[in-house]
């Protein structure tokens, strides 16, 4: 790794103090709590102490452009709870637009409060892609490089822009009969956004998360800018073989080390169809035993997830017309008797000429499972329909005005050895009456995760993703309201802590650095060292709340 630039470490005390006071006072005067209960935070746009920001940015020569007036949408995200108004939005047309902007912010030095956040689609939950009074880079505007599929001979790969949507990648790669190997449940997310986290779905047990399926990245970092400024280098491409430290730092790096402008991702031959299967369990031990068996088996399904049914359906539970019970008469007599049920969700991909063999395989796999008799439901859909399944729910929710409401989601990674204790307390005690959205639960194989990346996962061979995907009814004071859900989330977090479950948050959110230290554990020092190397002024992704600009990162 290149030794860290020392410029910010050498800042004299007066500059630091001035800067700190400006930040501190600015925050105090600007902080407004919309609700008395502190659950929604908005930071004001007015910034009388830095009136020259727009004019200084306007001087940068760009292929794209800045917007200064219409910035409110960049102060919103899917979580719909945090609103940090930026000073400007950059709509880049080229990578050099991004580099020039970061260079400019660097040149303004530690005395300026300007920060920079890349924004994919803003599907973050707690302001992670926002920049209070800073510059938000609208990554979807970046259309270079154009998507390019390399379909000649394996390994099949695809060049994509960091701002590309996974749904577009799917459609483009399918033109060549190929598709990425590892997905998220929802595809209207960007490459840069999911690679900054991990990118997890039901294929991850086999292929690992999306960050395990990248060959190369192109990244704009302060470090690169410094190198270029000194006339020493070119844009940083990084991979396992080249600038490996930067490559692994950026993967799962929460946007802390640079802006991903380009990625080369791994593809495989795409199937045409999917058998999509759901079976029910009333006993968590049997459910999880079957899940663990399936993710460890040699020959198995292509997608393995699961969810908890607590008296209510939600975003992903489109049981409606598409899922047919294999035995309609018996299934109609099935009564859950108010019990919490666990649904194992499976998919097997196939091509039309493989139907017979696929059906035999499914029969054989299912015969190894111990679900409640007659609770087998099957659907057959195209590969695209399967992968883009959440979008259909999105359209329905948007039509009812239920997409843009607060989403107090909680995503946890729980070690296998503790999942039973967790399930007993959370599904038996904390969440009894109802849930406010889907609750996903499925195991993952640690061996498919690269421990050189920045993402933090539990220290066990198998761990579970448990995702509480709640929606809050605005202004409700009842159990479907934000306050109630946040209290419930906190109870779950408190239980994990007091019971020492070794839980790690996915899409983590913490408000103080002490909590970030605990999240990273023994990896904290290395994370700080990387920050010092690649973003020493701490200008990137301020919404993650890990480091503050011009306050030493150690
Ligand atoms: C309906 C829905 C379903 C989801 N399903 C899944 C799922 O199945 N699995 C899963 O893993 N996640 C899932 N997510 C979470 C998703 O991975 C995160 O929201 C993630 O942040 C990607 O969203 P985005 O592209 O809009 O990124 P943003 O929210 O815009 O950004 C996320 C973070 O990455 C940084 N960033 C964005 N682009 C770049 C870039 N080019 N370079 C460097 N940093 C960048 C931002 O500054 C920010 O800190 C889901 C989210 C939603 C809303």
CATH of the domain at 234: 3.30.465.10
Average pLDDT over residues 77-96: 96
pLDDT tens readout for residues 452-472? 999 999 999 999 999 999 999
Residue 187 CA, ligand 1 centroid: distance in Å: 10
130 pLDDT exceeds 50?
yes
212 pLDDT exceeds 70?
yes
361 pLDDT exceeds 80?
yes
Q: What is the dihedral of CA 312, 318, 323, 329, to 10 degrees?
A: 30
pLDDT tens readout for residues 271-306? 999 999 999 999 999 999 999 999 999 899 999 999
* Terminal alpha carbon distance of the chain: 18
| 227 vs 235: CA distance, rounded Å | 9
Between these two residues, 335 and 199, which has the higher pLDDT value?
199
Residue 397 CA, ligand 1 centroid: distance in Å: 20
Supply the pTM of this predicted model.
0.90
The pLDDT, as a whole number, for residue 38 is: 39
Residue 203 CA, ligand 1 centroid: distance in Å: 18
Q: Please tell me the residue having the least CA distance from ligand 1 atom 41.
A: 192
Residue 78 CA, ligand 1 centroid: distance in Å: 10
3 state DSSP class of 480: coil
| 463 vs 454: CA distance, rounded Å | 17
Is 139 touching ligand 1 by the criterion CB < 6 Å?
yes
Is 192 touching ligand 1 by the criterion CB < 6 Å?
yes
Residue 279 CA, ligand 1 centroid: distance in Å: 30
Question: Binning pLDDT at 50, 70 and 90, where does residue 433 land?
Answer: confident
3 state DSSP class of 225: helix
Domain extent at residue 213:
148-269
Strand extents, DSSP E, 332-487: 341-350, 376-382, 410-415, 439-445, 462-468
pLDDT tens readout for residues 386-426? 999 999 999 999 999 999 999 999 999 999 999 999 999 99
**Residue owning tokens 């960007």:** 190
240, 127: one domain? no
Residue 254 is assigned to a structural domain of this protein: yes
Residue 380 is assigned to a structural domain of this protein: yes
Between these two residues, 29 and 110, which has the higher pLDDT value?
110
Residue 120 CA, ligand 1 centroid: distance in Å: 7
Least confident of 34-48, 245-259, 349-363: 34-48
488, 367: one domain? yes
Give the position, in ligand 1's atom list, of the atom nearest the Cα of 250: 43
Per-residue 3-state assignment (H helix, E strand, C coil) for 83-133 = EECCCEEEECCCHHHHHHHHHHHHHHCCCCCCCEEEECCCCCCCCCCCCCC
Residue 37 is assigned to a structural domain of this protein: yes
Taking all residues of the chain, what is their mean pLDDT, rounded to a whole number? 87
Which residue in 180, 202, 183 sits closest to 302, CA to CA? Answer: 202
The pLDDT, as a whole number, for residue 319 is: 61
Contact yes or no for 542/134 (Cβ under 8 A): yes
Partners of 158 in the beta sheet? 149, 265
Is 85 touching ligand 1 by the criterion CB < 6 Å?
no
- Percentage of the chain exceeding pLDDT 90: 75
Question: Binning pLDDT at 50, 70 and 90, where does residue 8 land?
Answer: very low
Give the position, in ligand 1's atom list, of the atom nearest the Cα of 407: 53
311, 402: one domain? yes
Is 260 touching ligand 1 by the criterion CB < 6 Å?
yes
234 pLDDT exceeds 50?
no
Average pLDDT over residues 537-552: 88
376, 491: one domain? yes
| 212 vs 214: CA distance, rounded Å | 6
Is 92 touching ligand 1 by the criterion CB < 6 Å?
no
Residue 86 is assigned to a structural domain of this protein: yes
Residue 64 CA, ligand 1 centroid: distance in Å: 23
65, 98: one domain? yes
Least confident of 34-48, 49-63, 333-347, 525-539: 34-48
Positions marked active-site: 123, 185, 305
Residue 431 is assigned to a structural domain of this protein: yes
Residue 48 CA, ligand 1 centroid: distance in Å: 32
187, 81: one domain? no
Residue 3 is assigned to a structural domain of this protein: no
Is 78 touching ligand 1 by the criterion CB < 6 Å?
yes
Which residue in 288, 280, 281 sits closest to 421, CA to CA? Answer: 288
Contact yes or no for 281/290 (Cβ under 8 A): yes
355, 234: one domain? no
Is 542 touching ligand 1 by the criterion CB < 6 Å?
no
Residue 128 CA, ligand 1 centroid: distance in Å: 9
Is 119 touching ligand 1 by the criterion CB < 6 Å?
yes
Which residue in 151, 185, 146, 198 sits closest to 169, CA to CA? Answer: 146
Is 189 touching ligand 1 by the criterion CB < 6 Å?
yes
Question: Binning pLDDT at 50, 70 and 90, where does residue 22 land?
Answer: very low
Contact yes or no for 336/382 (Cβ under 8 A): no
Q: Which of 134, 142, 144, 192 to mutate to test the pocket of ligand 1 (most atoms within 8 A of CB)?
A: 192
Give the position, in ligand 1's atom list, of the atom nearest the Cα of 390: 1
In 451-545, which ranges are continuous DSSP H helix?
A: 482-498, 513-520, 524-534
**Angle, in degrees to the nearest 10, between helices 524-534 and 222-229:** 30
Is 80 touching ligand 1 by the criterion CB < 6 Å?
no
pLDDT tens readout for residues 163-179? 999 999 999 999 999 99
Give the position, in ligand 1's atom list, of the atom nearest the Cα of 260: 42
Q: Please tell me the residue having the least CA distance from ligand 1 atom 2.
A: 186
Contact yes or no for 122/78 (Cβ under 8 A): yes
42 pLDDT exceeds 60?
no
Is 369 touching ligand 1 by the criterion CB < 6 Å?
no
Question: Binning pLDDT at 50, 70 and 90, where does residue 31 land?
Answer: very low
| 147 vs 167: CA distance, rounded Å | 12
The pLDDT, as a whole number, for residue 235 is: 64
The pLDDT, as a whole number, for residue 144 is: 81
230, 285: one domain? no
The pLDDT, as a whole number, for residue 52 is: 66
Q: Please tell me the residue having the least CA distance from ligand 1 atom 1.
A: 186
Residue 475 CA, ligand 1 centroid: distance in Å: 27
CATH number of the domain residue 487 falls in? 3.40.462.10
The pLDDT, as a whole number, for residue 390 is: 96
Q: Please tell me the residue having the least CA distance from ligand 1 atom 36.
A: 193
pLDDT tens readout for residues 407-416? 999 999 999 9
12, 68: one domain? yes
Of 240, 269, 298, the residue at which a domain comes to its end is 269
Question: Binning pLDDT at 50, 70 and 90, where does residue 435 land?
Answer: confident
340, 251: one domain? no
Domain count, the chain: 3
34, 178: one domain? no
Residue 193 CA, ligand 1 centroid: distance in Å: 4
Q: Please tell me the residue having the least CA distance from ligand 1 atom 11.
A: 199
pLDDT tens readout for residues 304-326? 999 998 864 433 344 656 788 88
Is 118 touching ligand 1 by the criterion CB < 6 Å?
yes
Question: Binning pLDDT at 50, 70 and 90, where does residue 327 land?
Answer: confident
Residue 537 is assigned to a structural domain of this protein: yes
Q: Which of 77, 91, 124 to mutate to test the pocket of ligand 1 (most atoms within 8 A of CB)?
A: 124
The pLDDT, as a whole number, for residue 228 is: 61
Q: Please tell me the residue having the least CA distance from ligand 1 atom 37.
A: 193
Task: Using the Cα atoms of residue 494, residue 499, residue 505 and residue 510 in order, give the sign of their dihedral.
Answer: positive
CATH number of the domain residue 57 falls in? 3.30.43.10
Question: Binning pLDDT at 50, 70 and 90, where does residue 434 land?
Answer: confident
36 pLDDT exceeds 90?
no
Is 454 touching ligand 1 by the criterion CB < 6 Å?
no
Is 162 touching ligand 1 by the criterion CB < 6 Å?
yes
353, 453: one domain? yes
Residue 327 is assigned to a structural domain of this protein: yes
| 418 vs 412: CA distance, rounded Å | 12
Contact yes or no for 147/138 (Cβ under 8 A): no
The pLDDT, as a whole number, for residue 50 is: 52
CA 212 to chain CA mean position, Å: 14
Is 202 touching ligand 1 by the criterion CB < 6 Å?
no
């Amino acid at each position: 790794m290149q030794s860290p630039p020392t410029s910010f470490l050498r800042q004299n005390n007066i500059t630091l103090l001035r800067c700190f006071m400006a930040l501190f006072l600015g925050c105090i005067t600007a902080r407004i709590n919309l609700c008395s209960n502190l659950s929604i935070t908005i930071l004001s746009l007015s910034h009388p102490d830095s009136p020259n920001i727009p004019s200084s940015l306007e001087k940068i020569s760009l292929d794209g452009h800045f917007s200064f007036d219409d910035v409110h949408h960049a102060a919103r995200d899917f979580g719909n709870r945090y609103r940090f108004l930026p000073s400007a939005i950059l709509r880049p047309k080229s990578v050099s637009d991004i580099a020039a902007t970061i260079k400019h912010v660097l040149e303004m030095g530690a005395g300026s409060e300007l920060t920079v956040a890349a924004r994919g689609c803003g599907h973050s939950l707690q302001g992670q892609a926002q920049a209070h009074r800073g510059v938000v880079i609208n990554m979807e505007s970046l259309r270079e490089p154009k998507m390019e599929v390399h379909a000649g001979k394996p390994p099949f790969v695809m060049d994509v822009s960091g701002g590309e949507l996974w749904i577009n990648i799917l459609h483009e790669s399918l033109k060549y009969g190929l598709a990425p190997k590892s997905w998220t449940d929802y595809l209207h997310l960007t490459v840069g956004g999911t690679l900054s986290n991990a990118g997890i779905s039901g294929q991850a047990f086999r292929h690992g998360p999306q960050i395990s399926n990248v060959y190369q990245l192109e990244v704009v970092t302060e470090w690169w800018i410094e190198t270029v400024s000194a006339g020493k280098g070119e844009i940083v491409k990084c991979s396992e073989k080249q600038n490996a430290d930067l490559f692994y730092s950026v993967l799962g790096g929460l946007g802390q080390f640079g802006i991903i402008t380009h990625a080369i991702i791994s593809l495989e031959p795409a199937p045409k169809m999917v058998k999509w299967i759901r079976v029910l369990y009333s006993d968590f031990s049997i459910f999880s035993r079957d899940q663990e068996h399936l993710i460890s088996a040699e020959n198995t399904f292509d997608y393995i997830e699961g969810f908890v049914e607590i008296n209510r359906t939600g975003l992903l539970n489109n049981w409606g017309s598409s899922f047919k019970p294999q035995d309609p008469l018996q299934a109609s007599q099935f009564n859950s008797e108010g019990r919490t049920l666990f649904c194992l969700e499976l998919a097997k991909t196939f091509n039309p000429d493989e139907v017979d063999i696929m059906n035999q395989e499914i029969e054989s796999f299912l015969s190894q499972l111990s679900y409640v008799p007659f609770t087998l439901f099957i659907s057959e859909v195209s590969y695209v329909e399967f992968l883009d399944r959440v979008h259909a729910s999105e359209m329905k929710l948007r039509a009812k005005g239920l997409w843009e409401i607060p989403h107090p989601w909680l995503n946890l990674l729980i070690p296998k050895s503790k999942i039973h204790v967790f399930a007993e307390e959370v599904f038996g005690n904390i969440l009894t009456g109802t849930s406010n959205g889907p609750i996903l639960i499925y195991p993952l194989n640690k061996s498919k995760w690269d421990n050189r990346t920045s993402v933090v996962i539990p220290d066990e061979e198998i761990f579970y993703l448990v995702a509480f995907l709640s929606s809050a009814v605005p202004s409700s004071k009842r159990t479907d309201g934000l306050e109630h859900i946040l209290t419930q989330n906190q109870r779950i977090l408190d239980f994990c802590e007091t019971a020492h479950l070794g839980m790690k948050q996915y899409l983590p959110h913490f408000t103080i650095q002490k909590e970030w230290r605990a999240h990273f554990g023994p990896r904290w020092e290395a994370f700080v060292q990387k920050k010092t190397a690649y973003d020493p002024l701490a200008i990137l992704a301020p919404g993650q709340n890990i480091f503050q600009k011009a306050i030493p990162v150690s």
